[in-house]
Structure 1
Amino acid sequence: MSSVLAQTPPCPGGCDPENPLEGPINEDLPYLIAAGLLLGTAVIYRNKIKKASI
């Protein structure tokens, strides 16, 4: 019962509790997308090379 009545802990790093979606991932999103595209391209390329050598 005490966990139901407990207060929520404060945001780490002093984030705004009114806007919880703002975080450090938003500023690096283009880099994450580019890295994902490069990694995906490398995996597809390696898979095609493997199939071609069989």
Structure 2
Amino acid sequence: MKTAIDSFERGIEPVIIEDACFSAGGQQAHDAGIFLLKRNIGKNQIQMSNQILEKIS
């Protein structure tokens, strides 16, 4: 999460693949992290793997 936010603050628009991320804190921590990323880097930057695959197919 920190790398994504740091990148965004430096003008890079990272894309986070939500279903390829994991939190050792469990699902609740994962959901909280995704919520914070959406709030900080934008909800369009958080995508599911099938969305990425559709774009590159």
After TM superposition, the score normalised by the length of structure 1 is: 0.30
The structure whose residues are more often strand, as a share, is 2
